[in-house]
Chain A
Amino acid sequence: MASSDVARQPDKGVRPLSLAGHVGFDSLPDQLVNKSIYQGFCFNILCIGETGIGKSTLMDTLFNTNFENFESSHFEPQVKLRAQTYDLQESNVRLRLTVVNTVGFGDQMNKQESYQPVVDYIDRQFESYLQEELKIKRSLHNYHDSRVHACLYFISPSGHSLKSLDLVTMKKLDSKVNIIPVIAKADTISKSELHKFKIKIMSELVSNGVQIYQFPLDDETVAKVNTTMNGHLPFAVVGSTEEVCVGNKMVKARQYPWGVVQVENENHCDFVKLREMLICVNMEDLREQTHTRHYELYRRCKLEEMGFKDTDPECKPVSLQQTYEAKRQEFLVELQRREDEMRQMFVQRVKEKEAELKEAERELQSRFEQLKRLHADEKATLEEKKRLLDEDQSSFSKRRAAAQLLQAQSLTANGKKDKDRKNSGFM
């Protein structure tokens, strides 16, 4: 029997080596990209903003299609989230885009709980990914990733400062999602006002400790453009799907009596900057940040909350299995207890109901008896009355017969008397 001896070189001794010729693994990034093309990409955007601020229009303009959307009413009792998924394709890239809109945000009279449905939605997506990851038989590469990668927060173009609702909501969301604030309907602000507005917004965000998404600076190819763009935050955008003829071209624009606001003109608004940053340059980084930072934070908090630890008090590594099994036993015991309780309660209820029903039956029975008796009494009384009536009737008819007889007799007697008197009178 061959015994074994395992000896391994330490990992620290990783030597750099130069190649004597062309090996060919420079095609690895291509292989990776090809695989991703085959699988397709996933991107989820959450749009938060008041009703009518232009979220749907901006999405249409960004992705150059007409997403199915309808105007929402201003009378929603609560903030709801509506998610719609679309399959887009450009050249050979297939993108599964999910746009989540907040319906009724900012419409209620009491906006204290407005942020909660949004936070709940984001947590739900993290939770379902975590569940899939913890499964025994899992299929992560087939899993449709629904975690929110980017959150566009639409700021009203008041020109002054952020609303307190904005600050509260963004503060709650900054550790869960990449927030990109945008100033909506930017064609209502003049250039100088816009500049002051942007500075005010950024300073308010900083002073309130809100961490918005910073475009990454670690890759030299994009560091420069990202730094510039970081300075232009928040982007002032205008959305439009209508085309207007300007010069000899048809461009996306909004036509006013006093002029035409061109969406893709960088002098008019920052739409092009937003599109470039969100899609062309940093889409992959947004996805990565969501996975490595926000999701990991959620996972850590969730697992710690459930009682898992990496090391127990004696600093020995505690396996997930041990804690999981302990919790499972606990849960099973609790389940058993609840089941017994419920069973007991059920038996009790049945008994009570039975007693009630029996009582009701008895009552009914006695009432029936009573009624029967009443009925019999009444019948007796009626019989008695009938007898009396009959007696009366018979005595009456006897008396009548007697009276009639008497009358008939008296009549004949009177007649005779008359006759006699008549007769005597003649004499």
Chain B
Amino acid sequence: MSESAKLHPNPQGKGEKTHGSDFSYVGIDAILEQMRRKAMKQGFELNIMVVGQSGLGKSTLMNTLFKSKVSRKSVLPNPEERIPKTIEIKSISHDIEEKGVRMKLTVIDTPGFGDQINNENCWQPIMKFINDQYEVYLQEEININRKKRIPDSRVHCCIYFIPPTGHCLRPLDVEFMRRLSKVVNIVPVIAKADTLTLEERDYFKQTIREELRANGIDVYPQKEFDEDAEDRMINDKIREMIPFAVVGSDQEYQVNGKKILGRKTKWGTIEVENIAHCEFAYLRDLLIRTHMQNIKDITGSIHYETYRVRRLNESNALFSSQPSDHPAVQPKTNGQPEQQPSTLQANGVAAQHEALSHEM
């Protein structure tokens, strides 16, 4: 049974309490302040993955986004410029703070992606990494003695770099995005957009959008997760601009007396944060200023839950088909395919994960 009762709104504005004179004020909206304090105390976590061929400017873009040297290349003392023979997954974490808000930012780099001669199945290690993070979280969640705050290493957002060919998406791009849009939020961007003129850029974007639609690829913000009409309106505007054409830079130049981030060329200086030049500002606003919480929510409540449902169902199926008196035959169901966290056999991917990745 539910009753609806309206309290008189406090005419003096939020946060002011007056004892005695205005007794229609209860103080329920003080909970917002309490939540804010709690959030500031706990701090936030964000895990971003960057995927794309080498040389597309992924590390630079990360550095530009967060205005500090957060990428792997800036951290390693002597970054090797070789292209690795296999896809590696490297993550670096930093604690950054702005106006009292602390955030643990993890940038996950994937050197070697798309660089081999034969790129078939190059999404597999990435998919496996993402699923492993979900697995770790799931294991902690179903523990009996679990931590107060489960450490969140799940990939919240995957930025996919499309090389600026100006024509259309390559088969590698389509394959990768098709498979991964089901497990993680994908934000496609056109890298090194300063090589395209505005018309070429518009044409490229339109082609990409059509191809995404034709292949049934749902990139962030996904249409089905719009909460209400207002949300849909905002997200529709974003969807019309995807993919963002970005330029990254961590060099500062003087333009018109102001110091701005940009790329200086003989024919002019490209200002990174100027929306007439490139769409970096839109990307930054989307990822950081307006939709960051939403990205984390969708990861947590939709992608993670999908993984969880599949995983629990699959464990059930595995168990009901296994005779219980053959413990040696039972596959390990505690998640990690290897007992030690270090090396993985070349073909020794565990039964479940094999099953999971084959589904893709």
Which residues in B have their C-beta under 8 angstroms from that of A34?
Answer: 293
Of the candidates B7, B98, B128, B143, the one whose C-beta lies within 8 Å of that of A22 is B98
Contact indicator B125/A14 (Cβ below 8 Å): no
Contact (A31, B89) CB under 8 Å given A17-B95, A93-B29, A249-B20: no
**How large, as a class, is the contact surface on chain A?**
35 or more
9 A-B interface contacts by CB (under 8 A): A6-B88, A6-B89, A16-B96, A31-B293, A84-B1, A85-B3, A137-B309, A284-B35, A321-B312
Which residues in B have their C-beta under 8 angstroms from that of A88?
Answer: 5-7, 26, 28
Contact indicator A136/B309 (Cβ below 8 Å): yes
Contact indicator A28/B103 (Cβ below 8 Å): yes
**How large, as a class, is the contact surface on chain B?**
35 or more
Interface string of B56-78 (1 = CB under 8 A from A): 00000000011111100001000
CB distance from A237 to the nearest CB of B (A): 15
Of the candidates A14, A31, A321, the one whose C-beta lies within 8 Å of that of B292 is A31
Contact (A8, B91) CB under 8 Å given A2-B118, A219-B37: yes
Contact indicator B103/A251 (Cβ below 8 Å): no
A420 at the interface (CB under 8 A from B): no
Interface centre among B31, B86, B92, B97 (most CB of A within 10 A): B31
Contact (A280, B17) CB under 8 Å given A41-B31, A275-B27, A319-B315: yes
CB distance from A71 to the nearest CB of B (A): 18
Contact indicator A35/B297 (Cβ below 8 Å): yes
Contact indicator B35/A33 (Cβ below 8 Å): yes
Which residues in A have their C-beta under 8 angstroms from that of B118?
Answer: 1-2
Contact indicator A322/B98 (Cβ below 8 Å): no
Contact indicator A303/B144 (Cβ below 8 Å): yes
Q: How many Å lie between the Cα of A30 and that of B101 in the bound state?
A: 11
Interface centre among A7, A16, A25, A89 (most CB of B within 10 A): A25
Interface string of A245-288 (1 = CB under 8 A from B): 00001011000000000101110000010011001111111001
Contact (A310, B143) CB under 8 Å given A93-B32, A279-B26, A284-B34: yes
CB distance from B333 to the nearest CB of A (A): 4
Q: Which of A59-67, A195-203, A372-380 contacts B (4 or more CB under 8 A)?
A: A59-67
Report B's interface with A, CB cutoff 8 A: 1-10, 14, 17, 19-21, 23-32, 34-41, 44, 46, 65-70, 75, 86-101, 103-104, 116, 118-122, 124-125, 128-129, 142-146, 148, 227, 284-285, 288-294, 297, 301, 305, 308-309, 312-313, 315-316, 319-320, 324, 330, 333-334, 344, 346
Which parts of A72-95 form the interface with B (CB within 8 Å)? 84-93, 95
Which residues in A have their C-beta under 8 angstroms from that of B122?
Answer: 2
Which residues in B have their C-beta under 8 angstroms from that of A4?
Answer: 86-87, 124-125, 128, 344
Q: How many Å lie between the Cα of A258 and that of B21 in the bound state?
A: 24
Which residues in B have their C-beta under 8 angstroms from that of A283?
Answer: 28, 30-31, 34
A296 at the interface (CB under 8 A from B): yes
Of the candidates B69, B93, B309, B312, the one whose C-beta lies within 8 Å of that of A14 is B93
Find the B residue at minimum CB distance from A13.
B93
Find the A residue at minimum CB distance from B46.
A25
The total of interchain contacts (Cβ-Cβ below 8 angstroms) comes to: 276
Contact (A19, B86) CB under 8 Å given A219-B37, A251-B23, A309-B144: no
Contact indicator B319/A310 (Cβ below 8 Å): no
Contact indicator B227/A93 (Cβ below 8 Å): no
Which residues in A have their C-beta under 8 angstroms from that of B293?
Answer: 28, 31-32, 34-35
Q: How many Å lie between the Cα of A310 and that of B141 in the bound state?
A: 12
Interface centre among A13, A29, A251 (most CB of B within 10 A): A29
Which residues in A have their C-beta under 8 angstroms from that of B75?
Answer: 15
Contact (A38, B227) CB under 8 Å given A19-B66, A27-B289, A288-B38: yes
Contact indicator A6/B125 (Cβ below 8 Å): yes
- Consensus secondary structure, chain B interface: mixed
Which residues in B have their C-beta under 8 angstroms from that of A141?
Answer: 301
Going nearest first, the 10 A-B pairs with the smallest beta carbon separation are A4-B125, A31-B293, A284-B34, A280-B27, A26-B99, A325-B319, A280-B30, A65-B5, A24-B289, A321-B315
Contact indicator A304/B144 (Cβ below 8 Å): yes
Which residues in A have their C-beta under 8 angstroms from that of B289?
Answer: 24-25, 27
CB distance from A309 to the nearest CB of B (A): 7
Q: How many Å lie between the Cα of A262 and that of B5 in the bound state?
A: 24
Contact indicator A221/B37 (Cβ below 8 Å): yes
A21 at the interface (CB under 8 A from B): yes
Contact (A272, B19) CB under 8 Å given A2-B86, A27-B289: yes
Contact indicator A17/B23 (Cβ below 8 Å): no
Q: How many Å lie between the Cα of A29 and that of B92 in the bound state?
A: 24
Contact (A1, B27) CB under 8 Å given A33-B35, A90-B9: no
Contact indicator A319/B144 (Cβ below 8 Å): no
Contact indicator B26/A31 (Cβ below 8 Å): no
Contact (A33, B36) CB under 8 Å given A88-B5, A309-B144, A321-B312: yes
Which residues in B have their C-beta under 8 angstroms from that of A300?
Answer: 144-145
Find the B residue at minimum CB distance from A278.
B27
Contact indicator A15/B95 (Cβ below 8 Å): yes
Which residues in A have their C-beta under 8 angstroms from that of B124?
Answer: 2, 4
Given known contacts A275-B27, A280-B30, what 14 new A-B pairs fall within 8 Å (CB)? A2-B86, A2-B122, A7-B89, A9-B91, A26-B98, A33-B32, A33-B36, A67-B3, A84-B3, A88-B7, A137-B305, A279-B28, A285-B34, A326-B324
Contact indicator B26/A19 (Cβ below 8 Å): no
Find the B residue at minimum CB distance from A138.
B305
Q: How many Å lie between the Cα of A272 and that of B17 in the bound state?
A: 11
Contact indicator A32/B34 (Cβ below 8 Å): no
Q: How many Å lie between the Cα of A265 and that of B21 in the bound state?
A: 11
Q: How many Å lie between the Cα of A138 and that of B312 in the bound state?
A: 12
Of the candidates A13, A36, A249, the one whose C-beta lies within 8 Å of that of B35 is A36
Of the candidates A3, A68, A281, A282, the one whose C-beta lies within 8 Å of that of B86 is A3
Contact (A319, B334) CB under 8 Å given A3-B86, A92-B29: yes
Contact indicator B39/A29 (Cβ below 8 Å): yes
Which residues in A have their C-beta under 8 angstroms from that of B66?
Answer: 19, 23
A20 at the interface (CB under 8 A from B): yes
Which residues in A have their C-beta under 8 angstroms from that of B288?
Answer: 23-25, 27
Contact indicator B2/A15 (Cβ below 8 Å): no
Which residues in A have their C-beta under 8 angstroms from that of B128?
Answer: 4, 6
Q: How many Å lie between the Cα of A93 and that of B30 in the bound state?
A: 9
Contact indicator B121/A321 (Cβ below 8 Å): no
A308 at the interface (CB under 8 A from B): yes
Of the candidates B19, B38, B120, B146, the one whose C-beta lies within 8 Å of that of A264 is B19
